Amino acid sequence: MSDRSYYSREIHGSYEIFELGDFDLESGYRLRGAKLAYRTIGTLSPAKDNAILFPTWYSGTSGIIEQAYVGCGRALNPEKYFIIIANQIGNGLSTSPSNSVPPARGPGFPVVTIADDVVAQHKLVTEQFGLSKLELVLGGSMGAQQTYEWAVRYPDIVRRAA
């Protein structure tokens, strides 16, 4: 997604792009052609009851989270769970100051709130995967703030938060 080599798949691993389209932020700003980068690991069960969402922290990416937290024998075991790692808006893989078009490029990039991130992630999990429940939402640092927002904003979707 980015034209900057640091934010390449070679450095941060594979990821997919969910097209948010023109995305209205809490501030009233409309982010044109917004994209949310994400990675999935594991298989979604036919009952869709094994999904975990792990939002990234500030400057964190799905590749970093996968390396540190996901794997057989770890708490986030892809043999048991369908793990969705959502890259925060502004982190370089999703729509960011470095890859947006003017007027949202560079210093013109709008303020994005935790609520904005969560609304974008909600679109991802409901529209892309058809999920009505998440077994767990977890995160660290700004990812933890997003987790809390998920639990407050969508209590009927989040079974557990950590």
As a whole number of angstroms, the distance between CA 64 and CA 110 comes to 25
- Residues listed for the chain: 162
Angle at 8 between CA 88 and CA 67, to 5 degrees: 65
159 domain residue, yes or no: no
Q: Which domain holds residue 86?
A: 5-153
Q: Which amino acid is at 25?
A: L
28 domain residue, yes or no: yes
Confidence of residue 24 (pLDDT cuts 50, 70, 90): very high
56 domain residue, yes or no: yes
The pLDDT of residue 61: 77
Going by C-beta distance under 8 Å and a sequence separation of 6 or more, which residues neighbour residue 127?
18
158 domain residue, yes or no: no
21 domain residue, yes or no: yes
- In this predicted model, what pLDDT tens digit does every residue of 55-101 receive, in sequence order? 998 777 777 788 888 889 888 999 999 999 999 999 889 999 999 98
**CATH code, domain carrying 126:** 3.40.50.1820
How far, CA to CA in Å, does 136 sit from each of 13, 109, 114, 129? 23, 31, 18, 15
Least confident of 28-32, 33-37, 99-103, 157-161: 99-103
pTM for the structure as a whole: 0.91
162 domain residue, yes or no: no
Cβ(53)–Cβ(150) below 8 Å = yes
11 domain residue, yes or no: yes
- What is the domain count for the chain? 1
160 domain residue, yes or no: no
Confidence of residue 2 (pLDDT cuts 50, 70, 90): very low
